[in-house]
């Protein structure tokens, strides 16, 4: 088994315990979607497309007082080391539900009664933490589509590896570590929209992991904001603020 944290306190990819992986977000990458985004978070590569608000089919699913949000998280067969079957797995169906529930509190769905908003996430390459990267990219794509939002949603995981609390676990750390805790927040409203925990943490470790993840989400939020500003106002204005 690999040594996940060396004697210098560095992880297998050279990061410190509280360091994020490199992050890149692009807005408006698909011309046929109402809103779209692309995210690279470490080796994760995810494209998100948003369609809607649009008429619901079948019509009996429509709600008279609000829109329905539908999310589909799908991993491409070539996105992981061992080719996966193209049909949705139980894990993908569960993550689709988790992403929808993380995004819903931020959306003002009452403004679009009897409609549906569809969010499609296609994972081109997976490297641990793809649900958090997917939530982050989906929020940007929804903003790009002009959907009314109370706040952005930013997500990041913390966890425990080799007995230490670490931030933003990669694939190896996710599989071989002791705990993984995905978190999503609305940064301006200071509200949590997702909190999961796989593994065991003491109350002190939980608090440290929670604080670490919240701090990281605020950094990610600034990257989301910058990506949207870059698209709609051009890169020149960002430096002049």
Q: Each residue of 159-203: pLDDT tens digit?
A: 999 999 999 999 999 999 999 999 999 999 999 999 999 999 999
Q: What pTM was computed for the model?
A: 0.94
What value does the mean pLDDT of the chain take?
Answer: 94
Residue that the structure tokens 């051009």 belong to = 234
Instruction: Inform me whether the pLDDT recorded for 241 exceeds 80.
Output: no
Domains and CATH numbers, the chain: 23-232 (3.30.230.70)
């Amino acid at each position: 088994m690999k040594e996940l944290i060396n004697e210098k306190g560095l992880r297998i990819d050279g990061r410190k315990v509280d360091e994020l992986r490199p992050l890149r977000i692009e807005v408006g990458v698909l011309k046929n979607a109402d809103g779209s985004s692309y995210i690279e978070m470490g080796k994760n590569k995810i494209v998100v497309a948003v369609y809607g608000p649009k008429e619901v089919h079948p019509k009996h699913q429509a709600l008279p007082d609000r829109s329905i949000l539908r999310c589909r998280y799908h991993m491409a067969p070539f996105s992981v080391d061992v080719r996966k079957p193209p049909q949705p797995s139980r894990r993908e169906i569960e993550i689709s539900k988790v992403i929808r529930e993380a995004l819903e509190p931020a959306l003002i769905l009452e403004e679009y009664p009897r409609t549906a908003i569809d969010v499609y996430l296609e994972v081109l390459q997976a490297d641990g933490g793809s649900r958090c990267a997917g939530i982050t990219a989906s929020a940007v794509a929804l903003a790009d589509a002009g959907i009314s939002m109370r706040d952005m949603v930013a997500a990041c995981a913390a966890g425990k590896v080799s007995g230490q609390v670490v931030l933003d676990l990669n694939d190896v750390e996710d599989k071989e570590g002791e705990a993984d805790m995905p978190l999503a927040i609305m940064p301006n409203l200071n509200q949590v929209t997702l909190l999961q925990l796989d593994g065991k943490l003491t109350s002190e470790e939980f608090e440290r992991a929670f604080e670490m993840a919240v701090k990281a989400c605020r950094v990610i939020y600034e990257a989301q904001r910058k990506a949207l500003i870059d698209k709609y106002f051009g890169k020149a204005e960002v430096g002049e603020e």
